[in-house]
A and B are shown apart, each in its own frame.
Chain A
Amino acid sequence: MGARKAAGIAVTLLSLLTLAYVFATGLANGMIGCAKPVLQLSIKTNDGTKTCIVPGAVVCDSKSLAAEKARLAKLGEEAKQGRLPAECSAEGQVTGYKVVVTPVDSSIAVATVAAWMGLLVGPWLAFGERPSSINPR
């Protein structure tokens, strides 16, 4: 077996194992990687409408993500009733809010795309460039 073929098989197997682990973890966590929900408040002031951002915590599973989103939504409701969070110093009326989920880079997500690339080149290294025949199938 040539070095190229051996490297190809090794990269393919490693990528498959990584993806199997990632997908199993994703199924257990309800997501792959981590995210940070943020609360965006629209505040009407004398100078016009401003947006105040209240960052949430970084979470890496869907249950925690849902809980964090609910916590921020509650803050948004409270802000609409006049109780502005400490992050927002602007004086004015909160006219609306929304909770947005922003992605965060994590080792498991980076491993996922690395395995993705590995799977792209691994079989090519292992099996070579040419199809077994030139008859169109």
Chain B
Amino acid sequence: MAVPVAAIVLPVLAAYAVGYVLYGKKVLQERIVKADASRKTPAYTRFDGVDYVPANKWVLYGHHFASIAGAGPIIGPALAAVYGWLAPLLWVIFGNLFIGAVHDYLALMASVRHGGISIMSVAEGVMGRKAKYAFLVYVWGALLLVLAAFLSVAATVYASLSPNAATKAVIYMPIALLLGYLMYRAGLGIVKSTVVAVILAVLGYVYSYYVPLYLTYSTWVYVLMLYSFIAASLPVWYLLQPRDYLNAYLLWAFVGASALAAFLILGAPVKQPAVITWVAPAATIGGVGPIGKEPLAPFWPSIVLIVACGSLSGFHSVVASGTTSKQLANELDALLVGYGGMLTEGAVSTLAVITPIAFAWSDAFMNMKPLARWLTGYGEMFGAALGGVVGAEVAAKAASIFAAIALTTFVLTTLDTANRLARFAWSEMFDFLADRNPGVYKVLTNRWVASAISIILGGVMAVQTIGGVPAWRIVWPAFAGTNQLLAALALMTSALWVYTVLRVRGALAATVLVPSVFLWVTVTAALAWWIVVILPHIPPVYQVGAGSVAVISFLLDLYLFYAFVRRMTSAAREVRVEAREASRS
């Protein structure tokens, strides 16, 4: 018997509302971290007008949300639909509440309490110096891959798929600059400035809908490299904060419209079976070539690589402890920004992706690519919800265009934020030179130099081909594993921070320790599965590229887990000694 749409939508909303208040606020914020509004954040104590600048919590929420929400929360759950709707939905909800949002919030707060340094550098304090540098090099490499991928994706979208999106990008940036000027220099205030910017943005959308901008792929790559180089070096208040704040309105409109459409069809039956299979085709976890259709992706542990940032993502900890922690004005804002940001991304996955696909499912969906699967489902859900008002076809077409706009808007955001984060990671890698050779340190960590090095290397991977395949694509099948491994390592670092620095014990400590070990086991199993089962069957060029990355990731994974266990063991010993001494005295 088919269940109604309400069976998906209502539990999702209830879980997020209850989880945010009872778990996020009462447990994480008040009992574990003990966030304190009177404690000065790095945005004030290390204010430099460039990277350390306090932001209004809604502005910062916009930045964080827009930076962590790329294509992942859409593509991941759309890919996972081959399992049915139930298991991916549960993975997203529980993954959000107990792993993803905890990971984002703690990475943010650990960074804030350590002067705004990255979670990789926080690892030095809890796991040692070697762990810090291994972690930093790994993250910097992953960010170069993100830069290459997003340069290529953005250039493809603008040159081939949607030249109108290119016009929109050109119009949008000056509006964001104007918003920043009005808020930060003219002192117009956030409400008036927002009204002006939103009106201009809407007019810009209308213009770009009718007027495409044509440039070739290679020209776009070079233009976007230049853009990313400049944007990643400019002060955050100038472009990043206002642009991402504006983006958040678009994303909220997207989430709100999805929720509205789902509410209008609450009684309609879900056509997709709750469970279709427990073993999906290999292509869903990066099986390239002929192996793609073989049923080689068991739900566990593959799901952690498939759903990716719809549920949790390591990239989030780099953003939280990179750009976000340097702009947090008040420790109490971290709950909305870090925990709330992840739940909002989960809402995108559940309400805007899993629900429409489940509602509109047919056998043809099995053979569609994930993006087409989602766009079709999204359009059909709107057709059913609003068809009585504007006609089913018009509603479906408008929804598909809106969805494509929402997707492409965040490509550019991720591009320059990733370059800024790569700049931070690069600079922290040379901390050891600060006292030994200040001159060299100053040159290497100069923001323009650091920004140029990262984007040039990313650009090379975007334009260079190997055996006819773009260099970044050869490595990309391993990226899901790299990213989720980063999440496991960041959560382990956070757990150690909670245990050894915040000195949280007992059941409260377990709320962080248990998810971190569970995530590590799941990601390690998924990586091992990919290396042993998938890798031997993919084309040789991918075996070399993605295979090397996966094996390096696996070795690093084992080393950092060893460091984690060693530190946990010594901390537990210290606790026992303290307890013994306390009982004697």
> Is B492 in contact with chain A by the CB < 8 A criterion?
no
Quick one: CB contact mask for B402-436 with A, threshold 8 Å, 1 for yes? 00000000000000000000000000000000000
Quick one: CB contact mask for B198-235 with A, threshold 8 Å, 1 for yes? 00000000010011111111010001001100110011
Contact, CB under 8 Å: B49 / A130: yes
> Is B318 in contact with chain A by the CB < 8 A criterion?
no
Contact, CB under 8 Å: A129 / B49: yes
Choose among A35, A119, A123, A137 the residue that contacts B214 (Cβ–Cβ < 8 A). A35
Contact, CB under 8 Å: A19 / B183: no
Contact, CB under 8 Å: A32 / B227: no
Contact, CB under 8 Å: A32 / B212: yes
User: For the complex, what is the distance from the CA of A33 to the CA of B211, rounded to whole Å?
Assistant: 10
User: For the complex, what is the distance from the CA of A135 to the CA of B171, rounded to whole Å?
Assistant: 28
What total of chain A residues lie within 8 Å of the partner, measured CB to CB?
35
8 A Cβ contacts from A97-116 to B = 102-106, 109-110, 112-113, 116
Stretch at the interface among B54-62, B139-147, B345-353, B455-463: B54-62
Contact, CB under 8 Å: A117 / B226: yes
Stretch at the interface among A23-31, A39-47, A69-77: A23-31
> Is B260 in contact with chain A by the CB < 8 A criterion?
no
A117-B230, A120-B231, A136-B329 known; A26 vs B185 contact (CB < 8 Å) = no
Contact, CB under 8 Å: A134 / B44: yes
Q: How far is the CB of B296 from chain A (nearest CB, A)?
A: 29
A26-B167, A116-B173 known; A124 vs B234 contact (CB < 8 Å) = yes
> Is B163 in contact with chain A by the CB < 8 A criterion?
yes
8 A Cβ contacts from A9-40 to B = 19, 23, 26-27, 30-35
Contact, CB under 8 Å: B54 / A134: yes
> Is B53 in contact with chain A by the CB < 8 A criterion?
yes
8 A Cβ contacts from B25-71 to A = 43-44, 47, 49-50, 53-57, 59
Residues of B within 8 A of A31 (CB): 163, 211-214
Contact, CB under 8 Å: B211 / A131: no
Residues of A within 8 A of B159 (CB): 103
User: For the complex, what is the distance from the CA of A130 to the CA of B185, rounded to whole Å?
Assistant: 9
Contact, CB under 8 Å: B177 / A137: no
Contact, CB under 8 Å: A116 / B170: yes
Choose among A33, A119, A127 the residue that contacts B215 (Cβ–Cβ < 8 A). A33
Closest to A103 in B: B214
Contact, CB under 8 Å: B215 / A109: yes
Q: Which of A117, A121, A130 has the most CB of B within 10 A?
A: A130
User: For the complex, what is the distance from the CA of A23 to the CA of B207, rounded to whole Å?
Assistant: 9
Residues of B within 8 A of A116 (CB): 170, 173, 223, 227
Q: Majority SS of interface residues in chain A?
A: mixed
Closest to B186 in A: A132
Closest to B213 in A: A32
Residues of A within 8 A of B189 (CB): 137
A26-B167, A32-B214, A103-B163 known; A130 vs B235 contact (CB < 8 Å) = yes
> Is B187 in contact with chain A by the CB < 8 A criterion?
yes
Contact, CB under 8 Å: A27 / B207: yes
Contact, CB under 8 Å: A27 / B211: yes
Choose among B160, B181, B190, B227 the residue that contacts A137 (Cβ–Cβ < 8 A). B190
> Is B239 in contact with chain A by the CB < 8 A criterion?
yes
User: For the complex, what is the distance from the CA of A113 to the CA of B171, rounded to whole Å?
Assistant: 11
> Is B290 in contact with chain A by the CB < 8 A criterion?
no
Please give the residue numbers on chain A whose beta carbons come within 8 Å of chain B beta carbons, in ascending order: 19, 23, 26-27, 30-35, 102-106, 109-110, 112-113, 116-117, 119-121, 123-124, 127, 129-132, 134-137
A sample of 23 inter-chain contacts (CB < 8 A) reads A19-B170, A26-B167, A27-B211, A30-B211, A31-B163, A31-B214, A34-B214, A105-B216, A110-B219, A112-B170, A113-B215, A116-B173, A117-B223, A119-B173, A120-B173, A121-B230, A123-B177, A124-B234, A124-B235, A129-B50, A134-B53, A136-B329, A137-B56
